[in-house]
Amino acid sequence: MAVSISSPTISPIPANYKIALRDPNWYNAMLEEYNALVQNKTWSLVSCPAGVNLVSGKWIFRHKLHPDGSLARYKARWVLRGFTQQPGVDYGETFSPVVKPATIRVILSIAVSSNWAINQLNVKNVFLHGTLDEVVYSQQPAVFIDNAHPSAVCKLHKALYGLKQAPRAWFHRFTSFLSTMGFVASRCDTSLFILRRGPAVAYLLLYVDDIILTASTAPLLASITAALT
C-alpha cells in the first residue's frame, strides 16, 4: 500500500500587516523583527517635535528559502518609506559604491589560479549597523505601538531599510571598521579592500550585505573571518 507524505502548508505572503496578524507564522516573524530593532537600540521614543518631517513606514513580508527551494523561515521587515523624506531635512548624501563586476572576476581569477580559499559572508540586518548623521523621526512600527506612549515617535539612531541614506551609512560604518584592521581601499575600485601582513595578502569585496573574502594564507583568512563574525 502506497503511503503519501503531505508537506506542511506554507502560509502565503500577506497583502498587509492586518492580514499577517491572523497567522501565527507571520506574527512571530514580525515580533522577531521588532525585538531585533529594540535590542539594536535603533531608536528612542520621544514626543513629536513641532514642524518635523515624520517618515512613515510599512511591513514587508517574504519567504526565505533554502537552496533546494524549501521554506527556511518567514521574514517580516519594518521598512521606512524613503519617498516621505525631505532632502536637506532628514537626508543629504545618499550615494554608496558597490563593487564592479570586473573587479569580482579579477579577484576570483587570482584566488582560483593561486589555489586560495574563498569565504563568502552575508551580514544579517545589514542597514541596522549603519549610524545616522542626520536627525530622522519616524512613526512607531504598526502593531507594536508603545501603550504607555502611543503618540510618541521614533528618533532614529541607526539606519532602517528604506531610508535613502541607509546604504551609505552602512558602507561608512563597515569601511571604518575595516580600516582599523589595516585594510586599505583600492584606488581602482573603492569596494575592493586590500590587507597586507608581511608577505601575505588578503582581498575583500563588498556588495551591500554580501562579502567575498580571500587570502594567500589560511591563517590570515581565518583571522579576518573571525574578526568579521
In this structure, are residues 57 and 80 in contact, taking their beta carbons and an 8 Å threshold?
A: yes
Number of folded domains that form the chain: 1
Structural domain contains residue 1: no
What confidence score (pLDDT) does residue 8 get? 65
Q: How far is CA 214 from the centre of its chain?
A: 22
Which residues are within 8 A (CB) of 105 and not within 5 positions of it... i.e. 6 or more apart? none
User: In terms of C-beta density within 10 A (0-12 exposed, 13-18 middle, 19 or more buried), how is residue 79 classed?
Assistant: middle
Structural domain contains residue 10: no
Structural domain contains residue 8: no
Structural domain contains residue 28: yes
The residue among 157, 172, 170, 178 whose CA lies nearest residue 39 is: 157
Cα(52)–Cα(54) distance, rounded to whole angstroms? Answer: 6
Structural domain contains residue 6: no
Sheet with 137-138: strands ordered across: 43-46, 153-156, 137-138, 54-55
Residue 67 half-sphere exposure, CB side, CA atoms within 13 Å? 0
Structural domain contains residue 11: no
Structural domain contains residue 191: yes
Q: Report long-range pairs for 107-116 (Cβ below 8 Å, ≥24 apart).
A: 107/192, 107/203, 107/205, 107/212, 107/214, 108/212, 108/214, 110/203, 110/214, 111/203, 111/214, 114/216, 116/214, 116/215, 116/216, 116/221
pLDDT in tens, the chain (229 residues): 444 444 568 999 999 999 999 999 999 999 999 999 999 899 999 999 999 999 999 999 999 999 898 999 999 999 999 999 999 999 888 888 889 999 999 999 999 999 999 999 988 777 788 888 899 999 999 999 999 999 999 999 999 999 999 999 999 999 999 999 999 999 999 999 999 999 999 999 999 889 999 999 999 999 999 999 8
| Assessment of whether the complete model's pTM goes beyond 0.85 | no
Structural domain contains residue 152: yes
- Domain of 188 in residue numbering reads as 17-228
